[in-house]
Structures are given as C-alpha cells and as structure tokens.
Amino acid sequence: MYAQMVKSTGKNVQALEDMPPEERAFQERIDRGEKIEPKDWMPDAYRKNLIRQIGQHAHSEIVGQLPEGNWITRAPTLERKANLLAKVQDEAGHGLYLYCAAETLGVSRDELFEMLHTGKMKYSSIFNYPTLTWADMGAVGWLVDGAAIMNQVPLQRTSYGPYARAMVRICKEESFHQRQGYHIMMTMANGSSEQKRMAQDALNRFWYPSLMMFGPSDKDSVHSAQSMAWKIKMNTNDELRQKFVDETVPQAEYLGLTVPDENLKWNEERGAYDFSEPDWEEFYNVVSGNGPCNVERLEARKKAWSDGEWVREAMLAHAEKKAMRKEAAE
C-alpha cells in the first residue's frame, strides 16, 4: 500500500533538538505559522504524508459524487433537482482543486488515479454506503457535509499553502451543501408521517457512518501525532468527532428526530455530549474494501476513466497540433 510508505510518521514525533538542521528550520517555520509553498524545501515524509491526505481527500470528493448523483433524475421537484445537480458539480470541482494541490507536490494526476483504481489509495468510508431513499439526500447533505465542514474549516489553516487555499473555497461551498441537506430534512420531518419515518430512517443509517468519517479513535490513529506537528491536521479525530456530535444533536432535536444512540447524554461537567463510539470493526471492514458499495463505487470510477480515454487522447492530440502550428509560425 502506498500509504504504508509513510507509516514511519507514526506516534513518535521527533523532538526539535534531535532533528538535522534543515528539518529543524522547516519545523520552526511551521511552528511560526508560515505557509510552506511548492518550491520550498520539505522533508520527504511531509511530502508523502500530504500526497496521501490530499490524494485521499480528492478521491473522496470524486467518489462522493456517486451516492448523490444516483438521485439527480429522481429529485422530487425541479428546484431540488437543480440544487442537487449544482452540489454534485461542486464536489467534482473540489476534487479538481485538490488534485491540482497534490500535483504541486510532484505526483501526477494519472498516478493518483492509478492508485485509486488499484486500491492503493483510500477514499472516505462514508461513500461505501448506499443512498436508498430521497431522505438520504437530506441526511448526506446535513450529516456528511456537516462532518466534512467540521474537518475542513480548520484545514484552511493547514501548513501547506495550496491545500489551505483550496480549502477556503471548498468550505464556502460545503456550507451551502449542508444547508440544502438540512432543508430537505426539515421538509421531510415536517411532512406526512411516512416522510418523517423516512427522515428518521436516513438519520438511523447515516449517523454512525458519519461519525466514522473523522477516522479511528485517537489511540488508534496512525498519522495524527506527526500530521499535527506538521499542521497537516489541526485537530485530532476524537476532538472533531465530539464537536460534530455537540453541534448536530440540537439540530436533530429541532427536526423532532432521534439520534440512534441510547447512551447519548449531555455531560454537564464536560460541557459536551457523551455518546457511543461507532462500530470500529465495521469501519475497518469498509476501509479494507468490504463495505456495502465498495466494489460498485470503484467499478463506476474505473468505467468513467476508460470511457473518458478518447477525450483525453483527443485533447492531447489537439494540444500537440496547436504546439506544432505555433512552432511552424515562429
């Protein structure tokens, strides 16, 4: 696995005084809050870890179009259809900004796609769950984009310039996505008893997979310590998961829906909700390729790649012709 190449960036973060001078100067720049730009010197492991995270992030945006794209033709009104279409297009755009950011680190887009298609690079576990009813479009926008915002807003301050700048626009758009999802949930939750039942069912199915989006619990997170030292990540997985639960539970209450967790309880002392952890066995199973839709999602992406081959060839041929014409004219 490509990602295993960076496993050395585990929990043992090197102390500043033990670093070689170049690495130490690099770490000090990060500690001062300076942005690292593509042509700056950086440790190999920083570069590899960023390629891993940005690449996975880009793949998640691209694969993430599939569960919602599935509902564009079945949206209940023209307005809902236009909104969903715009949202799915935004996700494609996010993928493209992120691939561009990854390319500045010296990896090509073809290499990134190859790693996705051969299973060497991951994408978010959440997109391996099916979207069974229209209410799922509400739950995805509300919960999945809601979790994405929680994770991505801090990434606007990440140390790598092109990644941080891509996050600014992405976060603005995610905020619209979250609201359109919540609006669908509001309509369903205040609709007929059958619509309310569908909204509750969507919440039941998407709650725990949304909690899994933040990654394994801190004690099992492989990359957090080093990624946080490098400001590739700004918070731990558990910190963001807690923040998400604390913000989302009142939103569920406002909808009159019940979060499917018997242990959910406000903890006065902590000023936060106590809640049940997701089933981590299920998480690792999905991440290793055995979720309900893993095979279908990868097949769809591979088909899109091979169906688009003639377009890529035509564009390259056009660019070559243009270059030849320019050369001949000079």
The residue count for binding ligand BYC (CB under 6 A) is 30
Alpha-carbon distance of 243 to 151, in angstroms, equals 10
Which residues does 323 contact at the CB level (< 8 Å), separation at least 6? none
Q: Which of 223, 231, 241, 301 binds ligand BYC (CB under 6 A)?
A: 223
For 222, other C-beta atoms within 10 Å of its C-beta total 16
Look at residues 161, 230, 212 and name the one whose alpha carbon lies nearest to residue 6.
Answer: 230
Interface with ligand BYC in residues 22-51 (CB under 6 A):
none
Which residues does 4 contact at the CB level (< 8 Å), separation at least 6? none
Under rule CB under 6 A, residue 222 binds ligand BYC: yes
Return the percent helix, strand and coil in the chain, to nearest 5: 70, 0, 30
Q: Which of 214, 230, 244, 275 binds ligand BYC (CB under 6 A)?
A: 214
DSSP bridge partners of 265: 274
Alpha-carbon distance of 78 to 67, in angstroms, equals 19
Q: Report the residue number, 214 or 275, with the smaller CB distance to ligand BYC.
A: 214
Instruction: Give me the least distance between CB of 287 and ligand BYC, in Å please.
Output: 5
Q: Report the residue number, 180 or 227, with the smaller CB distance to ligand BYC.
A: 227
Under rule CB under 6 A, residue 124 binds ligand BYC: yes
Q: Which of 69, 215, 278, 291 binds ligand BYC (CB under 6 A)?
A: 215
Under rule CB under 6 A, residue 3 binds ligand BYC: yes
Under rule CB under 6 A, residue 209 binds ligand BYC: no
Which residue number places its CB atom closest to ligand BYC?
A: 64
b/e per residue 57-77 (b: at least 16 CB within 10 A)? bbbbbbbbbbbbbbbbeebee
**CA distances (Å), 160 to each of 57, 84, 102, 104, in order?**
14, 31, 10, 10
Q: Which of 27, 125, 131, 210 binds ligand BYC (CB under 6 A)?
A: 125
Find out whether 247 and 150 touch, Cβ atoms under 8 Å: yes
Interface with ligand BYC in residues 297-316 (CB under 6 A):
none
Under rule CB under 6 A, residue 52 binds ligand BYC: yes
Q: Report the residue number, 60 or 200, with the smaller CB distance to ligand BYC.
A: 60
β-bridge pairing 272-274 and 265-267: antiparallel
Interface with ligand BYC in residues 53-112 (CB under 6 A):
53, 56-57, 60-61, 64, 91
Q: Which stretch binds ligand BYC (CB under 6 A): 69-77, 145-153, 158-166, 306-314?
A: 145-153
Q: Report the residue number, 199 or 240, with the smaller CB distance to ligand BYC.
A: 240
**What is the Cα Rg of the chain in Å?**
21
Q: Report the residue number, 220 or 320, with the smaller CB distance to ligand BYC.
A: 220
At residue 268's C-alpha, the angle toward residues 264 and 272, to 5°, is 55
Interface residue list for ligand BYC (CB under 6 A): 1, 3, 52-53, 56-57, 60-61, 64, 91, 122, 124-125, 144-145, 148, 151, 212-216, 221-224, 227, 233, 237, 287
